[in-house]
């Protein structure tokens, strides 16, 4: 009876075009009855043939039978399954749907990587870890329900899921790894719960349809390339506790119109806001704790008219404000000239002035790279 119920559910998923990645909530009651079989995996394929796992032994659990009859695959193990091992189903390109037992707590690295036809996955409610590359390049997947007990989403877990448009992250997740949703080009919005305390770089890199994201309050940095080339992202609130905006974090966000620089900010890394063509700053008074402004950080932003660089800033990077064609006033508070401003103010507004502490005027005019702007440097009493 259990096998028949699941067969009906999977058949509906396959042939009625169901888009739910976990077997639909309407079928949950029917599905739960099958979960008593903790050593059995049910699946369907596009060619009506059984799949062969990459490894027949998964952490001391051995496949004892694997049959495909009447449109349903049944894979039986010699004991309960606690984990889907690394790369176990990786590259099973004909796998369409799979239902895992209630005992599975972890989806291992690359477990379903390059399963290009995989559309529907039923995870156990106790599943708490989706490891690196677990569902990478599952092109056919359109939606996915993450279990409520999830704690960790690994690096590239859903990277390259080009048709994934519906996914939400439950409260309780604490970690999201590098490029977890990279190139998920149909995701339009995402709310990251406040339980998340660490996020890797490039989490939403190249998510070309992404328009809005709510970030958790506990994070202390916007990691490198986090929103790189999110061309439709139009606005975002950076939590107050953020102290660093990583390299290329918003590079290529061509629709971004507004952003806040939190009061605790200490570093803006290379290319952080490069090619953010619509981002409006006007006057930027950097927070007093900003020590570093990286190479090309604000390159090409034509909305900037005035900047005030705090006294603790020791590094102003190469071309950091180059081609900011409306920048007319630069106020540099550091007593000692900041390091490496090679071409930092090339291509600013005609007549742009650089105001520095009066007692340091000659230092600035003689310092390497600063002397390239000697005629524009003026003493100022801050």
pLDDT at 3: 43
Which pLDDT does position 55 carry in this prediction? 67
Phi, psi of 9 (to 5 degrees): -60, -50
Q: In 10 A of CB 253, how many CB atoms?
A: 27
- Write the pLDDT tens digit of every residue in 353-368: 999 999 999 999 999 9
Phi, psi of 45 (to 5 degrees): -130, 160
- Asked whether residue 94 carries a pLDDT value surpassing 60, the answer given is yes
pLDDT for res 249 = 98
What is the rounded CA–CA span in Å between residue 127 and residue 106? 6
pLDDT of 21 > 90? The answer is no
Secondary structure class of 14 (helix, strand, coil)? helix
pLDDT score of 223 more than 60: yes
Q: Which residue has the tokens 């909530």?
A: 25
CB neighbour burial string for 11-47, b if at least 16 within 10 angstroms, e if fewer: eebbeeebebbbbbeebeeebeebbebebbbbbbbbe
The structure tokens listed for 161 are 């899921």
- The two tokens of residue 294 are 């990286």
Q: How large is the average pLDDT for residues 287-300?
A: 97
Which of 187, 229, 195, 193 shows the shortest CA–CA distance to 212? 187
Q: Which residue shows structure tokens 């806040």?
A: 260
Taking phi over 0 as left and psi of -120 to 50 as alpha, with beta for the rest, 89 belongs to alpha
Residue 24 has pLDDT above 90, yes or no: no
Tell whether the model's pLDDT for residue 296 goes beyond 90. Answer: yes
**pLDDT for residue 237:** 95
Alpha carbons 303 and 252: distance in angstroms, whole number: 16
Mean pLDDT check: name the lowest of 26-40, 160-174, 283-297. Answer: 26-40
229: helix, strand or coil: coil
Mean pLDDT for 215-242 is: 96
Q: Evaluate whether 188 touches 209 at the Cβ level (below 8 Å).
A: yes
Mean pLDDT to the nearest integer, 226-246: 96
Tell how strand 143-145 and strand 120-122 pair up: unpaired
Q: How confident is the model at residue 235 (pLDDT cuts 50, 70, 90)?
A: confident
Q: Give pLDDT, residue 34.
A: 46
- The mean per-residue pLDDT over the stretch 143-165 comes to 97
Residues 381, 358: contact at Cβ < 8 Å?
Answer: yes
Cross-strand pairs, 315: 292, 339
What pLDDT, on a 0 to 100 scale, did the predictor assign at position 117?
98
Q: Could you tell me the pLDDT band of residue 33, with boundaries at 50, 70 and 90?
A: very low
* Across 321-350, average pLDDT: 96
Listed in sequence order, the DSSP H helices in the chain are 2-15, 28-32, 361-366
The chain-wide mean pLDDT, for the chain, equals 90
User: pTM (2 decimals)?
Assistant: 0.88
Per-residue pLDDT, 10: 43
Model confidence at 109: pLDDT above 80: yes
Q: What is the mean pLDDT of residues 166-174?
A: 97
pLDDT number for residue 202: 98
């Amino acid at each position: 009876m259990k096998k028949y119920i699941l067969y009906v559910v999977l058949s509906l998923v396959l042939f009625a075009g169901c888009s739910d990645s976990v077997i639909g909530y309407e079928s949950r009651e029917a599905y739960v009855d099958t979960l008593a079989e903790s050593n059995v995996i049910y699946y369907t394929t596009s060619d009506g043939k059984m799949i062969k796992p990459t490894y027949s032994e998964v952490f001391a659990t051995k496949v004892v039978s694997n049959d495909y009859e009447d449109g349903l695959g049944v894979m039986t193990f010699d004991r309960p399954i606690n984990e889907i091992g690394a790369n176990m189903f990786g590259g099973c390109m004909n796998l369409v749907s799979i239902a895992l037992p209630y005992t599975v707590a972890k989806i291992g690295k690359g477990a379903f990587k390059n399963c290009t036809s995989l559309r529907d996955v039923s995870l156990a409610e106790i599943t708490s870890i989706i490891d690196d590359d677990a569902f990478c390049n599952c092109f056919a997947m359109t939606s996915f329900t993450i279990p409520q007990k999830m704690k960790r989403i690994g690096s590239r877990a859903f990277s390259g899921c080009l048709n994934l448009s519906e996914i939400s992250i439950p409260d309780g997740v604490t970690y999201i790894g590098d490029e977890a949703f990279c190139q998920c080009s149909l995701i339009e919005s995402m709310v990251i719960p406040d339980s998340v305390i660490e996020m890797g770089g490039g989490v939403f890199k190249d998510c070309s349809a992404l328009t809005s994201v709510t970030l958790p309050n506990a994070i202390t940095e916007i990691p490198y390339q986090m929103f790189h080339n999110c061309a439709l992202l139009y606005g975002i609130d950076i939590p107050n506790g953020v102290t660093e905006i990583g390299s290329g974090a918003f590079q290529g966000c061509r629709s971004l119109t507004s952003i806040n620089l939190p009061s605790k900010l200490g570093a803006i890394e290379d290319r952080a806001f490069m090619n953010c063509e619509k981002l409006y700053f006007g006057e930027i008074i950097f927070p007093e704790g900003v020590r570093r402004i990286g190479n090309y950080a604000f390159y090409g932003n034509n909305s900037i008219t005035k900047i005030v660089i705090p006294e603790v800033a020791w590094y102003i990077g190469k071309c950091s404000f180059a081609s900011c064609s409306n920048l007319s006033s630069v106020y540099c508070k550091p007593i000692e000239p900041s390091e490496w401003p090679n071409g930092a103010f090339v291509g600013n507004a005609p007549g742009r002035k650089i105001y520095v502490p009066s007692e340091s005027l000659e230092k600035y005019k003689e310092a390497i790279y600063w002397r390239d702007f000697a005629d524009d440097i003026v003493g100022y009493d801050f």
